[in-house]
């Protein structure tokens, strides 16, 4: 049996499906949490349209960040694209598309030091990692796209994890432990979307039922 200890009860089961998801990686600068929903966001698809015709900043250098920048450029006045290193780490087609957008302003070698705010975000202060010069950007929103962290702490004795900490499964969504399945954003996969998470859940549920039978 597996034994799951909750806040109010303890449950015993022959099969368990882990669907713990992943959380956005924080940039860990003061006041980040209190400004979420007040100018700080981790999803341009969700919140980008609230800043139509405004200047916004996007922090990140890989595929998600580049996709967000292209999306935001379609309705934001300016998109300041700031990266920690001196290059992008995304696909060439996305990088080429970024350079074709006149309202995407690229600045490399920047480390975020401060959120400027009143009731909501008003700007950002970065430090140039090469010159140590401080640079200020006036903007209404900051989109942070520096990766995700899976919520898999505590399972590493039961499952195998990849380098990013995501759970490895077979095609039946079963882990190395018999009767233990993993679905959605917590498992190693190429596409993390709502539709693929639902698909994972269906596959795992059917296989868990077959395992119990």
Point out the residues that are catalytic: 43, 46-47
Strands (E), the chain: 2-5, 10-13, 16-18, 22-24, 40-41, 55-59, 78-82, 104-107, 110-117, 121-128, 134-138, 141-144, 148-150, 180-182
Bridge pairing between strands 141-144 and 40-41: parallel
Q: How far apart are CA 143 and CA 114, in angstroms?
A: 14
Q: How far apart are CA 187 and CA 177, in angstroms?
A: 14
End-to-end CA distance of the chain: 15
């Amino acid at each position: 049996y597996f034994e799951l200890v909750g806040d109010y009860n303890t449950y015993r089961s022959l099969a368990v499906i882990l669907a713990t998801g992943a959380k956005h990686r924080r940039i860990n600068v003061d006041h980040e949490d209190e400004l979420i929903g007040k100018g700080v966001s981790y999803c341009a698809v969700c919140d980008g349209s609230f800043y139509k015709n405004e200047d916004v900043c996007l922090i990140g250098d890989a595929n998600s960040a580049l996709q967000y920048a292209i999306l935001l450029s379609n309705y934001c006045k300016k998109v300041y694209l700031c990266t920690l290193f001196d290059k992008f780490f995304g696909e060439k087609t996305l990088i080429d598309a970024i350079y074709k957008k006149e309202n995407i302003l690229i600045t490399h070698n920047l480390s975020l030091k401060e959120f400027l705010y009143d009731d909501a975000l008003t700007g950002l202060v970065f430090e140039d990692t090469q010159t140590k010069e401080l640079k200020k950007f006036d903007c209404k929103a900051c989109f942070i796209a520096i990766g995700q962290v899976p919520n898999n702490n505590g399972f590493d004795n039961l499952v195998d994890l990849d380098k990013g900490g995501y759970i490895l499964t077979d095609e039946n969504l079963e882990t190395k432990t018999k009767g233990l399945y993993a679905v959605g954003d917590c498992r190693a996969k190429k596409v993390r979307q709502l539709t693929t998470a639902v698909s994972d859940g269906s596959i795992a549920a059917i296989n868990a039922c077959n395992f119990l039978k």
